């Protein structure tokens, strides 16, 4: 028996079931867990449910899902709120995205705007343009983020963190990686931007960085352990342990330097 | 369970590996999150690893990494993720249960071999305690949670109550469950360490 496609316009309700393609425009309510081949919502969608999708979930406008989401592709623009876990091969968000549980992605997470994750993020690639706030650990092979706030560990193969004028103070509990580069946004480097005074970017504060290679600027750390390090101006590092070589700018503060 | 601990630095030096490699193995679950133990020291918060277990694990990883992918190696450490089922002869051969226990289990559970990992755990607990419903409860509990846990069976006047309790650390942070049990006269209580039973079962399945 072929699955039913659903199309709602204006105000509509989708009840629990197994569907083909779901298209909603206007205000849509989902009541009960659903599985589907694809789901596109435009306008406001409120699901008191978990959703399992074999293809793409695309939301535009405001979307609130109280359960878990499991899908191949997830593409959100506007505000998207999932109370449970989000599992997707690929997640793209533009706007504000709030996941109460974990994000598990086999391929990539690409966000523009603000992202708030209650628990942990596991992905192959994590590219966030905007803010990233994670309640647990954040792990990916390749990480490129701005202004991260991570209560657990930031664990990546290669990590690139850019601090810009919105960064205030960012906090990451600990960082473990192959290579890490922390730098300020190039547009506010140097003598100062037209409207902003020089170095209005905040600091990245962390307890511990353990890396093979570290290139740090505007980092405040209790301890850094690495093979090689380049410590640029704006850094305040209490203890720096290195095994191969280290380059420290005169405008950086390193409390204790230890070769191991 | 107090176990000798080592620092990450000691591990890296011992095997000539880098932080990049260690953290990649942590991401891929080759070294479980629960093995990274936070403790306060004079130098501040430090992370330690269980010495014997992590040395054995890294030796295995180093041996296998040229012939298997990291994902394949990770799966081999977690038999419960494997879809393979074990036949009756294999179960007896590996010392998981004997003929009599298998027959009793099949009758109690209504399931015949071959058994997947979840049923093998039920079988192992049933062989230890003789109560199928308790074994079922324990297997379900340990499938949902990963950590140190025990099955408790309390009996009085022919009535048994069984429950599971455990402590399940979130990654990097310790957590402890305090549980006080008070038994009135005429009560018998048995405790079965489920995490140990799981380790034994996985050892036998390797």
HEC string of A22-49?
A: EEEEEEEEEEEEEEECEEEEEEEEEEEC
Tokens of B157: 């006047």
Of A136, A212, A223, the CB nearest to B19: A212
Dihedral angle of Cα A226, A207, A150, B7, to the nearest 10 degrees? 60
Q: CB distance from A154 to chain B under 8 Å? A: no
Domain ranges within chain B, ordered by starting residue: 5-77, 81-205
Top pLDDT among B107 and B148 is at B107
Q: Which DSSP string corresponds to chain B?
A: ----EEEHHHHHHHHT--HHHHHHHHHTTSS-GGG-EEEEETTEEEEEEEHHHHHHHHHHHHHHTTTS-HHHHHHHT-GGG----B-HHHHHHTTS--HHHHHHHHHHH---SSB-HHHHHHHHHHHHH--HHHHHHHHHHHHH--SEEEEEEEEETTEEEEEEEEE-PPTT------------TTEEEEEEEHHHHHHHHHHHH-
Q: CB distance from A147 to chain B under 8 Å? A: no
Q: Does the predicted model carry a pTM greater than 0.80? A: no
> Of the given ranges (A9-23, A155-169, A213-227, A232-246), which has the lowest mean pLDDT?
A155-169
Tokens of A80: 């998207």
Q: What is the pLDDT of residues B135-173, one digit of tens each?
A: 988 888 888 776 678 888 888 888 888 888 886 654 334
Which residues in chain A are contacts of B26 at CB distance < 8 A? Answer: 139, 155, 176
Top pLDDT among B158 and A104 is at A104
Q: Is the pLDDT of residue A194 over 60?
A: no
Whole-number Å distance between alpha carbons of A61 and A84:
20
Top pLDDT among A231 and B116 is at A231
Of chain B, the percentage scoring pLDDT greater than 90 comes to 35
Mean pLDDT of chain A: 92
Q: Is the pLDDT of residue A114 over 50?
A: yes
Distance from CA of A44 to the nearest CA of B (A): 34
The SS3 call for residue A153 is strand
Q: Strand B187-193: give its sheet, edge to edge.
A: B159-167, B148-156, B187-193
Q: Is the pLDDT of residue B32 over 70?
A: yes
Of A136, A155, A227, the CB nearest to B26: A155
Distance from CA of B203 to the nearest CA of A (A): 29
Dihedral angle of Cα A93, A97, A101, A104, to the nearest 10 degrees? 10
pLDDT band at A196 (very low <50, low <70, confident <90, very high): very low
Q: Is the pLDDT of residue A59 over 70?
A: yes
Of B18, B23, B45, the CB nearest to A227: B18
Which of the given ranges, A74-88, A200-214, B184-198, has the highest pLDDT on average?
A: A74-88
Of A176, A222, A260, the CB nearest to B44: A222
Q: CB distance from A157 to chain B under 8 Å? A: yes
Q: What is the pLDDT of residue B185?
A: 63
- Choose the mutation target among A176, A243, A255 for the interface with B, i.e. most B CBs under 10 Å: A176
Q: Which CATH number fits domain B5-77: 1.10.1660, 1.20.1070, 1.10.1760, 1.10.4160?
A: 1.10.1660
Q: What is the pLDDT of residues B39-67, one digit of tens each?
A: 888 877 889 999 999 999 999 999 998 99
> Of the given ranges (A57-66, B53-62, B75-84), which has the lowest mean pLDDT?
B75-84
């Amino acid at each position: 028996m072929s699955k039913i496609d659903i199309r709602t316009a204006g105000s509509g309700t989708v009840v629990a079931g197994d569907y083909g393609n779901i298209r909603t425009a206007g205000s849509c309510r989902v009541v009960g867990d659903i599985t589907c081949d694809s789901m596109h919502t435009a306008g406001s969608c409120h699901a008191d449910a978990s959703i399992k999708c074999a293809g793409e979930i695309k939301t535009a406008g405001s979307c609130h899902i109280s359960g878990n989401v499991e899908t191949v592709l997830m593409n959100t623009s506007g505000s998207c709120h999932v109370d449970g876990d989000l599992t997707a091969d690929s997640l793209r968000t533009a706007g504000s995205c709030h996941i109460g549980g974990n994000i598990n992605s086999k391929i990539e997470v690409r966000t523009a705007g603000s992202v708030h994750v209650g628990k942990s993020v596991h992905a192959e690639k994590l590219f966030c343009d905007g803010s990233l706030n994670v309640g647990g650990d954040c792990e990916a092979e390749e990480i490129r983020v701005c202004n991260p706030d991570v209560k657990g560990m930031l664990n990546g193969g290669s990590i690139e963190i850019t601090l810009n004028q919105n960064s205030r103070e960012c906090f990451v509990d600990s960082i473990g990686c192959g290579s890490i580069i922390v730098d300020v946004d190039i547009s506010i480097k140097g003598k100062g931007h037209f409207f902003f005074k020089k170095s209005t970017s905040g600091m990245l504060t962390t307890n511990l960085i353990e890396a093979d290679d570290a290139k740090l600027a505007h980092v405040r750390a209790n301890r850094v352990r690495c093979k090689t390090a380049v410590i640029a101006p704006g850094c305040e590092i209490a203890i720096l342990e290195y095994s191969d070589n280290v380059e420290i700018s005169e405008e950086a503060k390193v409390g204790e330097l230890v070769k191991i | 369970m107090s176990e000798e601990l080592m620092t990450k630095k000691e591990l890296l030096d011992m095997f000539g590996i880098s932080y990049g490699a260690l953290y990649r193995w942590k991401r891929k679950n080759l070294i479980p999150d629960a093995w990274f133990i936070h403790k306060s020291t004079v130098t501040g918060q430090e992370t330690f690893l269980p010495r014997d277990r992590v040395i054995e694990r890294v030796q295995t990883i180093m041996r296998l990494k040229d012939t298997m992918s990291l994902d394949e190696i990770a799966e081999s450490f977690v038999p419960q993720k494997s879809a393979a089922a074990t036949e009756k002869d294999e179960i007896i051969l590996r010392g998981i249960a004997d003929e009599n226990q298998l027959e009793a289990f099949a009758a109690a559970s209504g399931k015949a071999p071959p058994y997947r990992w979840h049923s093998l755990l039920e079988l192992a607990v049933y062989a230890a305690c003789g109560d199928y419903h308790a074994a079922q409860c324990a297997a379900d509990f340990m499938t949902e949670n990963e950590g140190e846990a025990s099955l408790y069976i309390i009996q009085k006047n022919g009535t048994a109550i069984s429950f599971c309790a455990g402590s399940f650390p979130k990654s990097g942070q310790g957590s402890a469950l305090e549980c006080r049990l008070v038994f009135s006269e005429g009560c018998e209580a048995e405790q079965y360490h489920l995490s140990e039973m799981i380790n034994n079962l996985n050892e036998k399945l390797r």
